[in-house]
Amino acid sequence: MPKIGIRELKTKASEIVRRVQEERERYTVTHRGQPVAVIVPIERGRNEIAGDADAAATWDELLNIGEEISSQWTSQQTSLEILSDMRR
């Protein structure tokens, strides 16, 4: 996936959007050399980000795991309280 700086993106926005739309390219947007965003095409005929179905399935699985952990949680403290204590 090619990287593009914010200034270059501002200058070439129309060209970049055309490439994303027509050539299905993906870009990593950087600010001062650090990745800050990703520009990805929308799947044709669907208003979803290309490849987003896998991400949605992963999130669903993580939410299910979270619910399972919550249902069996036996501590008097919340997970947030335990993590806060561990970080001190």
User: What are the structural domain ranges in the chain?
Assistant: 3-39, 52-87
What pLDDT is attached to residue 75?
Answer: 82
Tens-place pLDDT, residues 27-76: 999 999 999 999 998 876 665 565 666 777 777 888 888 888 888 878 88
Question: What is the value of pTM for the model shown?
Answer: 0.51
How far, CA to CA in Å, does 25 sit from each of 14, 15, 20, 22, 34? 13, 11, 5, 8, 20
Cα end-to-end span (Å), the chain: 39
Asked if pLDDT for residue 7 goes beyond 70, the answer is yes
